[in-house]
Amino acid sequence: MPVQSYDVIIIGSGAAGLTAAIHLAQDKKVLVIAKGALDGGSTAWAQGGIAAVLDAGDSFEQHVEDTMIAGAGLNDRATVEFVVSEAPAAIERLAELGVPFNEGEQFGERWHLTREGGHSHRRIVHVDDATGAAVQKALVKAAQAIPNITLAPDMVAIDLITSRHGEKYSGDGHVWGVYAFNRKTRHVDAFVGRATILATGGAGRAYLFSTAPRGATGDGIAMAWRAGCRVSNMEMNQFHPTCLYNLEVKNFLITEAVRGEGGLLKLPPGVPGGGERFMDRFDDRGELAPRDIVARAIDHEIKRLGLDYVHLDISHKPAEFIREHFPTIYARLLDLDIDITKEPIPIVPAQHYTCGGVIIDLDGRTDLPGLYAAGEVTESGLHGANRLASNSLLECLVFGEASACHILDHWDELPAPPPIKPWDESRVTDSDEEVIVQHNWKEIRRFMWDYVGIVRTDKRLERAQHRIDLLAKEVDEYYGNFRVTPDLIELRNLVEVARLVIRSALHRKESRGLHYNLDYPDMLPEAVDTVLAP
Ligand code: FAD
Ligand code: SIN
């Protein structure tokens, strides 16, 4: 296939990628690729909302402090201050694009602000309990209306094009775009530009239970790592406390806003203390403690009492209030014969957010010239050891814009791409053992859940490391011999990312935020990032 040129290549069409695209397109020709549908990432699944200081009684200082407390001191204060101060303007831009945030219920309140765990104030703007769907829809609509933006769904990025793919090898690590598998033609296309932005989201699907969509396989983290970027704090995987427990529907989130609006965590009937609350035994903030604490408390109770789940109960609130605030959850659960206005919801913790990722600076720049990154794929310093609820859509909006601004402001310093070699399509053998890919995928997700989950030990981590090393060898061989397929591309990335998580977890000899190791239950005096370099 011929090599196709644009000014800027963006990999990912969620909140981060489309924010960057809309900003860049005032002046530049932009290609946005997505590996499936344009709304296939986590953005469209977000429920609770977006955090910003919008109330007269709230302050930037309090939002910064809450973020730092949740992040257990591992956050970068300058990044936190930057993101928090940019938040109100980012929300305003979304409102201008037509996102119908719920209006205030009290006099003088422009938008209704809900509350979530770890926030000292009501500061979450939302669109009922389906904020992400409204944000994604508005961003796609805006991007579709801009002639400078080409949207290309069904393009699975395989690897970044770096200077070693140039016809003349320069070796400076410059990134010039991406090779991507085109699901329609089943060939590999090369897309080049002066700048490339990675906005590929997280890696939740490395775990058996995750609230994230099927495509959250850490592709961007793996591609950046292979190209030569450092990654940081990959051991910090956030487990959301309240994912629906249902043997068929394994990844339906029950938003934290349910607890924010009064939902209570209780032990199910039939065990000592059945029907009673338990969070007060773990933290003074009860149900509204930060996620790591609530998830660990639930995990502890489930293991202590041999339960399958605990209960989240909001049925004490008026039925009308529940239906009005949580229409999506109400309807979905009613379909499963659970009426949340009358009965509790069975819940378990599940992987939810990848706090670690590709290291970026305040302009979204990675270690490699020409490569920027924004959103869940990154480690910007905002979340530290644990993300505060509703800070991540915010991060996408702020860094999507910051990277676009830096590219526009420094356009003349960005060199034009050299001639690039098309993808080598000489590997023509189709695998006759696709089933192995499925088996390997399942195996990784299972042992990541069992050994690298909410509570870790060195022994469990070493077991996981042994298994991932064996799998990495197998997958490498497989990747080298057969024609690429979307499943194989994702498996290769999952192996890479799982390896980075395990290595990082073994490296941290303390318990901090989301990383809890029974062999080192205490926090060390100094907060230090786990930085891995290729
Ligand atoms: P995503 O929205 O995940 O988009 C990733 C994009 O990259 C997609 O277009 C995908 O197709 C593309 N992509 C990935 N790999 C490739 C590849 N190899 N080739 C081509 N394209 C690729 N955060 C909040 O702040 N508030 C919330 O209320 C909230 N609720 C959430 C609820 C759920 C159920 C989940 C899962 C997450 C929630 N989060 C929430 C987190 C938040 O939604 C995500 O962190 C955020 O949406 C990530 O946006 P993103 O733009 O970085 O990536
Ligand atoms: C939720 O609605 O509980 C998710 C919020 C978030 O992940 O930030």
Q: Is the CB of 219 under 6 A from ligand 1?
A: yes
Q: Which residue would you say has higher pLDDT here, 165 or 198?
A: 198
Nearest ligand, CA 224: 1
Would residue 335 count as lying in a domain?
Answer: yes
Q: Is the CB of 389 under 6 A from ligand 2?
A: yes
187 with 306, same domain: the answer is no
22 with 149, same domain: the answer is yes
Would residue 534 count as lying in a domain?
Answer: no
Which pLDDT score, from 0 to 100, does residue 428 have? Answer: 63
Distance CA 124, CA 116 (A): 8
Atom of ligand 2 nearest to the CA of 48: 2
CB 308, CB 245: distance < 8 Å = yes
CB 329, CB 256: distance < 8 Å = no
Which pLDDT score, from 0 to 100, does residue 433 have? Answer: 67
Q: Is the CB of 351 under 6 A from ligand 2?
A: no
70-89 average pLDDT score: 97
Ligand 2 centroid from CA 39, angstroms: 18
Q: Is the CB of 210 under 6 A from ligand 2?
A: no
381, 413, 445 - which closes a domain: 413
Helices (H), 267-379: 291-305, 319-325, 327-335
Would residue 136 count as lying in a domain?
Answer: no
Would residue 406 count as lying in a domain?
Answer: yes
463 with 365, same domain: the answer is no
Ligand 2 centroid from CA 8, angstroms: 31
Distance CA 514, CA 159 (A): 30
Question: Residues of the chain with pLDDT > 90: what percent?
Answer: 83
Atom of ligand 2 nearest to the CA of 47: 2
Ligand 2 centroid from CA 176, angstroms: 35
Which pLDDT score, from 0 to 100, does residue 101 have? Answer: 96
Estimate the crossing angle of helix 458-481 against helix 434-451, to 10 degrees: 160
Nearest ligand, CA 376: 1
Question: 318 burial class (0-12, 13-18, 19+ CB within 10 angstroms)?
Answer: exposed
Across 193-272, the runs of DSSP E, i.e. the strands, are: 195-198, 231-232, 237-244, 264-266
| 426 has a pLDDT exceeding 80 | no
Question: 218 burial class (0-12, 13-18, 19+ CB within 10 angstroms)?
Answer: buried
318, 351, 384 - which closes a domain: 351
Q: Is the CB of 494 under 6 A from ligand 1?
A: no
Domain count, the chain: 3
The domain spanning residue 148 has which CATH number?
3.50.50.60
372 with 265, same domain: the answer is no
270 with 359, same domain: the answer is no
220 with 279, same domain: the answer is no
Which pLDDT score, from 0 to 100, does residue 408 have? Answer: 98
Nearest ligand, CA 46: 1
Which pLDDT score, from 0 to 100, does residue 168 have? Answer: 61
The domain spanning residue 292 has which CATH number?
3.90.700.10
Which pLDDT score, from 0 to 100, does residue 225 have? Answer: 97
Query: Model confidence over 492-516: pLDDT tens digits?
Result: 999 999 999 999 999 999 999 999 9
Annotated catalytic residue, options 291, 387, 445, 492: 291
Which pLDDT score, from 0 to 100, does residue 167 have? Answer: 64
CB 359, CB 367: distance < 8 Å = yes
The answer to whether 291 is a known catalytic residue is yes
Which residue range(s) make up the domain with 376? 4-47+142-235+355-413
The domain spanning residue 487 has which CATH number?
1.20.58.100
Would residue 511 count as lying in a domain?
Answer: yes
253 with 337, same domain: the answer is yes
Would residue 221 count as lying in a domain?
Answer: yes
Give me 245's structure tokens: 């427990």
Give me 73's structure tokens: 């001191």
250 with 231, same domain: the answer is no
284 with 200, same domain: the answer is no
229 with 279, same domain: the answer is no
169 band by pLDDT with thresholds 50, 70 and 90: low
Query: Model confidence over 135-163: pLDDT tens digits?
Result: 999 999 999 999 999 999 999 999 999 98
99-105: Cβ within 8 A, 24+ apart: 99/127, 99/134, 99/135, 99/138, 100/127, 100/134, 101/125, 101/126, 101/127, 102/126, 102/127, 102/128
Ligand 1 centroid from CA 518, angstroms: 31
245 with 346, same domain: the answer is yes
Q: Is the CB of 403 under 6 A from ligand 1?
A: no
151 with 296, same domain: the answer is no
Ligand 1 centroid from CA 306, angstroms: 33
Would residue 171 count as lying in a domain?
Answer: yes
Would residue 61 count as lying in a domain?
Answer: no
Query: Model confidence over 234-289: pLDDT tens digits?
Result: 999 999 999 999 888 878 999 999 999 999 999 999 999 999 999 999 999 999 98
Distance CA 533, CA 139 (A): 34
CB 44, CB 136: distance < 8 Å = yes
362-370 average pLDDT score: 97
Give me 212's structure tokens: 């994230």
Average pLDDT, the chain: 94
304, 333, 351 - which closes a domain: 351
Question: 96 burial class (0-12, 13-18, 19+ CB within 10 angstroms)?
Answer: exposed
Which residue owns the Cα nearest ligand 1 atom 29?
46
